[in-house]
Amino acid sequence: MRTLIQNATLISPGIHIEKGAVLLSGDRIEQVFTSDRKLPEADQVVDLEGLRLLPGFIDIHCHGRSNQDFCDGSEEAINRIGRDKLQEGVTGFLATTLTVSKKDLKQTLQCAEKYRMENKDGARLLGIHLEGPFFNPEGAGAQNPDFLKLPDFSLVVELNAICPVRKVSYSPELPGAMEFTRQLVEAGITPSGAHSTADYEQTLKALQAGMKHLTHFCNVMSPLHHLRFGMVGAGLTEKEIYVEIICDGVHLMDPMIKLILQMKGADRVMLITDAIRAAGMPDGNYTLGGLPVIVKNGKAMLAHAERVAGSTLQFFKGIQRVARVSTLPPSEIVKMTAWNQAYSLGLQNFGKIEPGFFADFAVTDQDWNPIQTWVAGTPRWKTK
């Protein structure tokens, strides 16, 4: 079926078209039209009345929402998360695990693979992000220290056979980490530095071995200091490295967000949520990887330690903060919401409004509030 979406403000990386139109053929984009071009006939016509049509957002670091966590290891949990992520304008995500037991990881990935193959009403599951268990105990943060271990590529292979692993976050200073990095790269899996005490030199070594992402940048990693440059210093100055940022006002203060954008530019920054089960829920008591968490005023903290425990951020609200803090135009901001994620992970035909790309869209108002979310050429969520 051919669908024509017209009278839209089209925003894609490097592109801003007023009163544009997009012709869909099934689940793909067939043509893009500027306002001066004659529009073709179609089986279905949708008039957006000037609303923004954006590439669907891709959240590559999300643990859950709606009181569900991927590591609950249940079909109910992943189905609920996948459906409710649509409310954020998210059309694709990586199910992000925690530092839990091997048994729990396998159970989680089995449920994820079932969702990936059968999902017809939620956001796309694009693969798995293993956040741990290969972390330095000194940088465990809110990860459960009982299940930490040294880098073990055989475990990644075992899990990848259940559901595609797209990204692994690990501490590059651990013994065996350089060989682990090279093995991930050879397998087509993105290595990402995280929960780390690695100094500047160790970080550069990991970059040379193939590490190309930094997970929740600035959080639980060696900081920037004028005599000890740290992983944060490397992330700011090494142009090729991609950095994830959580723009919830808790993990990064606004001036830091502004500095990161000025140093890195829109081409190497990826917005994420790092959301836990408390996202989309009221303040109260929750859990993260078996650890008790208290959420107060939207801020999640471990109950028995002064540590932030993920976020309650919804994806579009992070975009709104970036739009307030920066002077970047929308056509640059959208690079950080889908295209950078897809390109850096090797995911083909996601993140742009161009012929041949998947017809996954976030329809928003001028303030980035989601109005509709389209997946595979059909609207899967709308505001009432």
Backbone phi, then psi, for 71, in 5-degree steps?
A: -75, 5
In sequence order, what are the residues at sequence separation of 6 or more whose Cβ sits closer than 8 angstroms to the Cβ of residue 113?
Answer: 162, 163
* Type of residue found at 108: T
* Residue 104 appears among annotated catalytic residues: no
In sequence order, what are the residues at sequence separation of 6 or more whose Cβ sits closer than 8 angstroms to the Cβ of residue 42?
Answer: 2, 3, 4, 23
Strands 269-272 and 242-246: parallel
CA dihedral 102, 154, 116, 212 (to 10 degrees): 110
DSSP code at position 222? P
Give the three-state DSSP class for 215: coil
Six token digits for residue 150: 């040294």
* Type of residue found at 288: L
Q: Which residue has the tokens 């039209």?
A: 33
Cβ–Cβ under 8 Å, residues 242 and 212:
yes
Cβ–Cβ under 8 Å, residues 339 and 351:
yes
SS3 content of the chain, % helix, strand, coil (to 5): 30, 30, 40
Backbone phi, then psi, for 234, in 5-degree steps?
A: -65, -40
Q: Which residues pair with 4 in a beta bridge?
A: 23, 45
Active-site option among 59, 69, 274, 360: 274
Cβ–Cβ under 8 Å, residues 89 and 315:
yes
Cβ–Cβ under 8 Å, residues 126 and 343:
no
Residues taking part in catalysis: 274
